Amino acid sequence: MTSSFTSRLPLSRSEVDRDHLFREGEHVFETLWADPATRVLPLWRGSALLEAPARLRLLTPADVPRDGVLVYLGRTTVDRGMPVGTPIVAAVLDDATAERLSGEWGNLRALGTKLDDLDAGIFTEALAMANWHAAHPFSPRTGTATRSSKGGWVRVDPTDASEHFPRTDPAIIVGVVDGQDRLLLGSNALWESNRYSLLAGFVEPGESLEAAVAREVYEEARVRVVEPRYLGSQPWPFPASLMLGFLARVDPSFEGTATADGTEILDVRWFSREEIASHLGTIVLPGRASIARAIIEEWYGGPIEDGIDW
């Protein structure tokens, strides 16, 4: 992954040591709540509390109850008004508790490109873990309600003591380039008709990343590709994905045309760089918080100035 490509992946940034050994210990949150240096990030309905338009608001343990979902995120590795090594906890709040806190709330899609490395890493990690807890309250073995353990990084079934760990679902996303160096973009059925992005999909069990690239492109656009080249990855906690970015070329022996599957993808089109530039304002590209935008700009050769932040 080149440094220029890395710089265009806002949710891949972090300045947090996840400190896994500490979360393995006993009485994690009792210790953290007794430490005056601990800071807490409140989460409510997928949003984080803000102290400024591009700055997270971190509270003291005294400001946040301990009766909700808590996750120990780790310790800071930079000094930004807090000493290096400051412990950070995410706290998922209910409506009543959130309403008692003053301030604005912001979502990660909108803030991803605006936050600094520390806040981007904290918010991304916190949201991914909060979504996992919300989606997995019961044991898949027994159906019993599980309890949080090990700093919020494990859920335990009290009936058989089995441990259940956070899920991350790998998904490929690929920029497909043809022999004329045009880029293939598709419009998803869930979007407005003028929004276009790259083709993407989840990796299936027993499947390599390269095989997933070839399968998804053919399923969604009926195009055969070769030479998938890995570019980089970015967490996408909406709710639990890891996006694995590729560029691939159309198979020189392929003689068909790009055709949308008509179910998930309603339209596919080839774009030259000149066509991308001339269509700005009439088509909507992925937001700057997404790896899709980074891959498109990698092919394009630089930033695309369309006024879209997210």
As a whole number, the mean pLDDT across the chain is: 95
Res 93 pLDDT > 70: yes
In angstroms, rounded to a whole number, what is the distance separating the alpha carbons of residues 198 and 196? 7
Structure tokens at 67: 């009766």
Lowest mean pLDDT among 2-6, 13-17, 46-50, 215-219: 2-6
Res 262 pLDDT > 90: yes
Structure tokens at 292: 């899709």
Specify the pLDDT at position 128: 98
Query: For the segment 115-173, what is each residue's pLDDT rounded down to a tens digit?
Result: 999 999 999 999 999 999 999 999 999 999 999 999 999 999 999 999 999 999 999 99
Specify the pLDDT at position 4: 74
Q: What is the mean pLDDT of residues 271-281?
A: 95
Output the CA–CA distances (angstroms, integers) from residue 196 to 9, 192, 250, 272, in the order listed.
19, 9, 19, 14
In angstroms, rounded to a whole number, what is the distance separating the alpha carbons of residues 253 and 237? 38
Cβ neighbours of residue 52 closer than 8 Å, sequence gap 6 or more:
none
Nearest of 129, 154, 148 to residue 66 by alpha carbon: 148
How many H-runs (helices) and E-runs (strands) does the chain carry?
9, 16
Contact call for residues 173 and 243 (beta carbons, < 8 A)? yes
Specify the pLDDT at position 302: 92
Contact call for residues 128 and 168 (beta carbons, < 8 A)? yes
Query: For the segment 180-239, what is each residue's pLDDT rounded down to a tens digit?
Result: 999 999 999 999 989 999 999 999 999 999 999 999 999 999 999 999 999 999 999 999
In angstroms, rounded to a whole number, what is the distance separating the alpha carbons of residues 16 and 295? 26
Specify the pLDDT at position 307: 74
Q: Which domains does the chain have, with CATH numbers?
A: 3-135 (no CATH), 169-300 (3.90.79.10)
Specify the pLDDT at position 289: 94
